[in-house]
Structure 1
Amino acid sequence: MKTWSLIARMLAAEGACALVSVIRTAGSAPREEGARMVVGRHGFHGTIGGGALEWKALAMAQGLLGKPRQVKIFAQSLGPDLGQCCGGRVTLAVESFDAACLAEVEAQAAREAEGPYTVAGRLPGFDGVERFGERRRPVLVFGAGHVGRALILALAPFPFDVTWADPRPESFPGAMPQNVTAVTGAPLDVVAGAPAGAFAVIMSHSHALDLSLAAAALQNPAIAEVGVIGSATKRARFEKRLRAAGVAAARISAMICPIGIGGIGSKLPAAVALAVAAQIVSRDEALSAPASQGMLREREAG
């Protein structure tokens, strides 16, 4: 969620809104530090975990709507105070915005549009560092068949920038999620132009094309993960041909084929897509863990 651009839109449309942020957690909590919720007169976007904590925060945020800029910080024990079985403790910041804040909000939105950034000392009473903006993993999906279509929908809610490639223009639906860019040119050109850290998910209409894409993707160091739809038999055949094509053994070994998490036996396109999407999210978290250990961090002393 792009927090500041959403606040700017709400201020333009409604003249007031509030922001709820999880700024500190201890023990078990329903959401991580940095989880946010933007509250307007007619609803809210995002979540800090649901349950009694969220309802209390919503009531407080709604009570600030229409009031001049102010910030309230409060700590909440989830078990004793709210009866939630998480048992942890959460500190929330609830802040109001009105039309007079628009210039400040738009400045933050401009920074947010450039990518992730940090702010220190923005909240009175919180000696910490906030992180805003989204780290969006590029995902290249090759193939607009039944599973490809289902996968695109499964990835829609996640912070991925998806490039969807298929040389058959008629295969694409009339509408697609906002985080998707459709490409009808040569799929190998998409592989060649892959941004750093991209995931490639190959599920085209042709095994020959799958093999060409896999070879090109595995030889492109910008691509962090390569997954190919198929069976163990398909993998064995591809491994032999990839070795013959000169692909490094380590890259072939790291290729994910078959793709998708285990435990889902259904071969319905939506079920396959669900398994693949879960694997993409899991791999993204694993590779990003060192850079994303909490959205907020206390500043070091001194």
Structure 2
Amino acid sequence: MAQPEIDYESLPPNAGLTVNMLAGALAGISEHAVMYPVDSIKTRMQVFATSPVAVYSGVGNALTRISSTEGVRALWRGVWSVVLGAGPAHAVHFGTLETVNELLGGNEAGNQWVATSIAGASATTAADALMNPFDVIKQRMQVHKSEFRSVFDCARTVYRTEGLGAFYVSYPTTLAISIPFNAIQYTIYEHLKRLINPTREYSPSAHMISGAGAGAVAAAVTTPLDVVKTMLQTRGTSHDPEIRNVRGISDAFRIIWARDGLKGFSRGLSPRVMTNVPSSALCWLSYEFFKAAIRTD
């Protein structure tokens, strides 16, 4: 007797929130771990360094110089921070995403862009509250000549010298990035997925292409705010008094504009898009796969 065809892109009603959260956690860890070296290069390129040794002209230049002077392992420094944080944060993200989307009718026929946008914004607000401290630790460990070699040592030092606020000084900026990023990404993803795969049959390629396109657009649009976020999160590692004492978004904007003009807000654009295209493709592919693989019957 032939087995019934599985609708890969949807879950049965009894799948529950736990399945969505577990699928999200596994997808998040996969996404961040694979693309971490490129993310490290992005952070290095966004930091306003005082040493010419730490100034890079492009992704290839950064990769060559970091590998030759610090070793390839330097590109992976801090990866455990995102591994530890990405699982729980993405579980919260996708759990909230699916719940809000379902409540607002985002799974109904047609282009439900309002529902998917609100679902994306709600998901990132909850997830970033959990992930922000891990992101601060990650970036402190990614900078040139970082003094930290352990996630826990970095966390202790930042807390002791700068207080709890250091882990959340960039949270408003993070939300200012993540809310439009995820609203744009999720809306474009859903639209492309329905366009490419209208029959909703098993199609990993549709998830990858849709995720890649959505990630590229969202990353490019939000790069200026990402530069601001990097300055706020790495301020404690800077030897520049003005950067070390930056207090918020407006301060960071003023410094970037004064020192580098409009082009300063595009720092790290290439590696940011390079990171998000495959990572978004992998994240959505992994999420849809894990969601189907661990669904309840």
TM-score tier after normalising by the smaller chain length? under 0.3
Higher strand share: 1
Greater Rg, structure 1 or structure 2? 1
Greater length-normalized contact order (CA 8 Å, ≥ 6 residues apart): 2
* TM-score normalized by the length of structure 1: 0.26
Name the one with the larger helix percent: 2
